[in-house]
Amino acid sequence: MAPAAQEAAFTAAELDIADELGVQLVRFVRLINKAKSQVAKQGPDGIERAAYAILFHLIHDGPQRTSKLAEALHAEISTISRQSSALVQHGLVERQADPEDGRACLLAPTAEGLRVFEENRKKRNLWLAEVLAEWPEEDRQTLNELLDRLNSGIERHIPHVADHGSAQAKGADA
């Protein structure tokens, strides 16, 4: 659908709400990035914080090739390769033969990787519990339900490559 036709499909009130959501999402992302930057760029084990995203994907989605991880994380294969090598050196990830192609390898979390992941998850959960400590239980549940709906909607409506340039330009104005 062309942008003008898309815009005509929504009322002014719907577009105003979408604009406010956009503002709040930009604010949210900036605050999350600020909170992340307060934590050392490298964890206590000397691994880049960004490398933990690889560990997260391997734990949640199972063993994967470097190329699949790069696609999932919207990163260059060289970056994923460097970060995964650090995870392997620290014993958090191991290389396994790909059962579908013996020439390729899959990356998989080790028992130590699972332990470190759970330790980091526990720290994150304690921080979020502190952030939400003054919220009523019902509001916390509602937030989780609404974020799940928002994430599902975003997953269903990822902009196409052709729309990407105009979406970036609009995002820069926010």
Q: What's the mean pLDDT in 127-132?
A: 96
Give all domains of the chain, ordered by start, each with its CATH number: 41-158 (1.10.10.10)
**108 contacts 93 by C-beta, under 8 angstroms:** yes
DSSP-based three-state secondary structure for 95: strand
Q: Distance between CA atoms of 70 and 74, rounded to whole angstroms?
A: 6
The pTM of the full predicted model, rounded to 2 decimals, is: 0.72
Predicted confidence at residue 41, as pLDDT, reads 57
Task: Evaluate if residue 40 carries a pLDDT over 90.
Answer: no
Enumerate residues 6+ apart whose C-beta is below 8 A from 12. none
User: What are the backbone dihedrals phi and psi of residue 135, each rounded to the nearest 5 degrees, phi first?
Assistant: -80, 140
For the chain, the average pLDDT equals: 86
Residue 49 — very low, low, confident or very high, per pLDDT cuts 50/70/90? confident
Structure tokens, 33: 């990035």
Predicted confidence at residue 158, as pLDDT, reads 86
Task: Return the higher-pLDDT residue of 165 and 27.
Answer: 27
Task: Evaluate if residue 102 carries a pLDDT over 90.
Answer: no
Task: Evaluate if residue 167 carries a pLDDT over 50.
Answer: no
Distances from the Cα of 141 to the Cα of 32, 64, 128, 148, 152, angstroms: 20, 33, 13, 11, 17
**55 contacts 106 by C-beta, under 8 angstroms:** no
Backbone torsion region of residue 71, taken as left when φ is above 0, otherwise alpha when ψ lies between -120 and 50, otherwise beta? alpha
Task: Evaluate if residue 42 carries a pLDDT over 90.
Answer: no
